[in-house]
Amino acid sequence: MEGPSLDSPHLNDSLPAPHHAGDPGDGPGAHPDGHAPTLRRELVLALRTAGPSSPDQLARLVGASRTGVLQQLRVLEGEGLVSRRTERHGVGRPRHLYDVTPNAQQLFPANYDGLATGLIAAIDAIGGRELVDRVFETRRTQTAERIQRRLDESPGADAPFFERVRELAVIQDEQGYLCAAELSADGTIRLREHNCAIYHVAAGDPAACEAELALFREVLGADVVRETHIAAGDRSCTYRINARPD
């Protein structure tokens, strides 16, 4: 499922600090309203830090025109990243207040790698290496069951072996591994991951990578050999896959 996008689906590292009124460059034309993605990012960040705000307040916070702010707020509202409520205050027209929705959380920095690494260290401290290995094994088993169901239910469940590898690549790609299946002219099948979605965990504990290798062997029922390894300094994790005769 596609997530909301301001100009990229992953903005954890690209949300800039908002422009504040009083900063150098304030005044007519200070903010490039035409740069819509940048303005949208600044609005989301301003709402997160300042809380519910009116278009006028946001325009002052980010140093943009009220018209430009309203245009981008409508886009954000349509993406489900911003909500709007009406507030009445005395006589006159009510004002609209905007705020970020829970869906916007994915646009902000997260430290899941740090959490996972810390949990593994805590497990090691409590139960030693044996317990850590059991945790990785249990996770591998649970993941294998989920992937196996997906493979068995896919339209290509009875398709040639390469189609199952390609479906596995799709599943891994959905998890952030930038994964693709490759079929060479000589018939060699490879699964190539251009990103390690658990890099810090894998770099700190080789059991994570060994669990992935065992996972591929199990769900494909194949001989799988790792040829390149991101954790070892290579640009990708590459697996050569050989179907078993049975």
Reported as a single tens digit per residue, the pLDDT across 154-170 is 765 556 899 999 999 99
C-alpha neighbours within 13 Å on the C-beta side of residue 116:
17
Q: What is the pLDDT of residues 62-101, one digit of tens each?
A: 999 999 999 999 999 999 999 999 988 777 788 899 999 9
Domain end call among 108, 134, 168: 108
* Owning domain of residue 144: 112-243
Sequence-separated (6 or more) residues with CB below 8 Å from residue 149: none
Average pLDDT, the chain: 85
Tally of structural domains, the chain: 2
Domain shared by 165 and 197, yes or no: yes
Prediction pTM value? 0.64
Decide if 201 contacts 113 (C-beta within 8 A): yes
Domain shared by 100 and 120, yes or no: no
Domain shared by 185 and 163, yes or no: yes
Domain shared by 51 and 125, yes or no: no
| CATH number of the structural domain spanning residue 204 | 3.30.1380.20
Domain shared by 98 and 189, yes or no: no
What is residue 4's predicted lDDT score, i.e. its pLDDT? 52
Domain end call among 87, 108, 129: 108
Domain shared by 31 and 81, yes or no: yes
User: Taking 70 as the threshold, does the pLDDT of residue 227 lie above it?
Assistant: yes
| CATH number of the structural domain spanning residue 93 | 1.10.10.10
